[in-house]
């Protein structure tokens, strides 16, 4: 079969399965009943006690990837690449374009182009 037919068949099977699971969930939920409008669980604290609300700041959300793990990469980019000297910038761009050209060469050769 061709790629389009494969994509259509895969999508249909995905949607059929999802629909069946969702219908099972709806039937079970409506028969079992539910309690709505509850306060979020905050280890016994009340949401009203927090002056700025209970949302989490964007800086805290990706602290692990942006600060802790990739700190070295940022330091290199800031201290080695962005020195303000034109020659450093040309060297950096030269290296970058060389890598991009090699990657392009490998990609076109691999695809037989």
Partner 1 sequence: MNVFELITYLFSVLIYPGLTFLVVLGLLTQWYIRKLVGRMQNRIGPKYVGFMGIAQPFADIIKLMFVKKELSFRHGLRSFLVIFISLGMGALASAMLFTPISPYLIRAPYDVILFIYLMLWTTIALALIGLSLSNPFTIVGSSRFLTQVLFTEPAIVMSVLAAVIVLSKDSEIPFSIYSSLAKYSIGPMSTLVIALSLISYIIATIAKSMLKPFDIPEAETELAGGIFAELSGPALALTIVIHYTELAFLNLIAVLLFLGGPYPLSYGDPLGALIITTKYVILLTAITSIRASTGRIRIEQALTAILKYPLTLSTLSLIIAMLMHIKLIL
Q: Which is nearer to partner 1, 55 or 87 (CB)?
A: 55
Q: In the structure encoding, which two tokens stand for residue 39, read together?
A: 């306060």
DSSP character for 42? -
The helix (run of H) or strand (run of E) holding residue 26 is helix 3-32
Please say whether the beta carbons of 48 and 55 come within 8 A.
no
Binding site for partner 1 (CB under 8 A): 1-3, 5-7, 9-11, 13-22, 25, 28-29, 32-43, 54-56, 60-65, 68-69, 106, 109-110
Q: Considering the complex, state which of residue 51 and residue 84 has its C-beta at the smaller distance from partner 1.
A: 51
Minimum CB–partner distance for residue 84 and partner 1 (Å): 30
Residue closer to partner 1 by CB (options 67, 90) is 67
Q: How far is the CB of 9 from partner 1 (least distance, A)?
A: 5
Q: Find where tokens 């034109």 sit.
A: 86
Structure-token pair, residue 36: 């709505």
């Amino acid at each position: 079969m061709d790629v389009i037919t494969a994509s259509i068949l895969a999508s249909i099977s995905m949607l059929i399965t999802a629909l069946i699971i969702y219908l099972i969930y709806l039937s079970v939920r409506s028969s079992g009943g539910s309690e709505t409008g509850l306060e979020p669980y905050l280890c016994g604290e009340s949401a009203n006690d927090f002056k700025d609300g209970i949302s989490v700041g964007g800086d805290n959300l990706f602290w692990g990837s942006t600060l802790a793990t990739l700190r070295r990469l940022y330091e290199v980019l800031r201290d080695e690449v962005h020195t303000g000297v034109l020659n450093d910038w040309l060297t950096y761009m030269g290296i970058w374009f060389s890598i991009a050209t090699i990657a392009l060469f490998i990609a076109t050769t691999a695809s037989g182009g």
